[in-house]
Amino acid sequence: MSELRDFLTAMGAVYEPVGERVNLNDRRFIVNPELAARIHDRSRMIYAGNLLGRTKREFMPGSSLLRELGKMKGPNKVWVDDRVGWLFVCGRDIFEESIVRAEGVLEEGTFFLVMLGDDCLGYVRIETQDGRRLLRNIFDLGDFLRRERRILE
């Protein structure tokens, strides 16, 4: 799964998921052996085990992978406060001056997890806009609410 490896490298993380890998269209799952033994009809399967992420133009990690990375030492991380965290999960980007603390070097192009205390809210890519450093929102957990809204519509 080279796309996952590339993502982890860009994040500064080392992580090797354990289990059988299952691909369903653009989604990548990791499945324990007991669950793998119960998979009989892949044509009708829509979800299995632990969703590592989705591969579209680039690899987008699922929330459980973010949860794992958030617990580790190693990945690039920035911490924000409640107010900025909420704007972030509403889909907004973050300006550098809103960062409370950072682990990793804020270089253009690198990926950072966005943390609120011990919890990972999503991740960003460092960009420069009008001479200001910007943390571009790539994925945030507010996506669950946006998906729920789309389902209801």
In the complex, the residues that contact other proteins under the rule CB under 8 A are 31-32, 34-35, 38-41, 44-51, 62-64, 67, 82, 85-86, 89, 116, 119, 121, 141-142, 144-145, 147-148, 151
Write the single-letter amino acid at 102: A
Which is nearer to other proteins, 47 or 131 (by Cβ)? 47
CA distance 91 to 74: 25
Q: How far is the CB of 147 from other proteins (least distance, A)?
A: 5
CA distance 147 to 84: 22
Q: How far is the CB of 107 from other proteins (least distance, A)?
A: 28
Q: How far is the CB of 128 from other proteins (least distance, A)?
A: 29
Which is nearer to other proteins, 107 or 118 (by Cβ)? 118
Which is nearer to other proteins, 119 or 127 (by Cβ)? 119
Collapsed DSSP state (helix, strand, coil) of residue 103: strand
Collapsed DSSP state (helix, strand, coil) of residue 68: helix
CA distance 20 to 29: 8
Which is nearer to other proteins, 50 or 110 (by Cβ)? 50
CA distance 52 to 135: 23
Handedness of CA 103, 6, 68, 146 (dihedral sign): positive
Q: How far is the CB of 122 from other proteins (least distance, A)?
A: 9
